[in-house]
Amino acid sequence: ARRSKPRLRFIYGAAAAFGVACAAAALAPTVWLFGLTLIPVGLFALTLMTSANAYVQTTTEQVMRGRVMALYFAIFLGGTPLGAPIVGLVSNTFGPRWSLAVAAAAGIIAALAGMIWAWRAHHLRLRYDPAPRRRLRIETDFGKPLTDP
């Protein structure tokens, strides 16, 4: 909430952290550790949701904001009727730990898909630099070093 403008890399990081936290919760051996791992799950879920919401609102033109937010919430809330039966089926068939594994996979896949899109949209590539301080550099197709992907 403090951020003036959320960045996509922050949103991708929150999605990845959510996935890792869900995987940790799925693998927790005791109820107490499971309860402790739910704290980061909730933190990263809220961070992801509020940052994505703020990003959509701050990057949309004011004239289109209402329409875009209507579509955003339709997609955001519309995923529940599709995802809930799948998670329920997984939970009934394989157990509740596997339903958390589905959430972990969703978070990690969402982060990877977003990062791949960002790399392709900005025509980024990794390049080896023999200079002693910088071994790998992120560059655009034009050979310019990228300071803020």
Residue 126 phi, psi (nearest 5): -90, 140
pLDDT value at 29 more than 50:
yes
Helices (H) and strands (E) in the chain, counts: 4, 2
**Residue (of 148, 93, 92) closest to 122 by Cα position:** 148
pLDDT value at 123 more than 90:
no
Round the CA-based radius of gyration of the chain to a whole number and report it: 19
**Residue (of 44, 73, 45, 74) closest to 57 by Cα position:** 73
Q: What is the pLDDT of residue 145?
A: 53
Per-residue model confidence as pLDDT tens digits over 49-102 = 999 999 998 888 999 999 999 999 898 888 888 889 999 999 999 999 999 999
The two tokens of residue 96 are: 């509740």
- To the nearest whole number, what is the mean pLDDT of the chain? 85
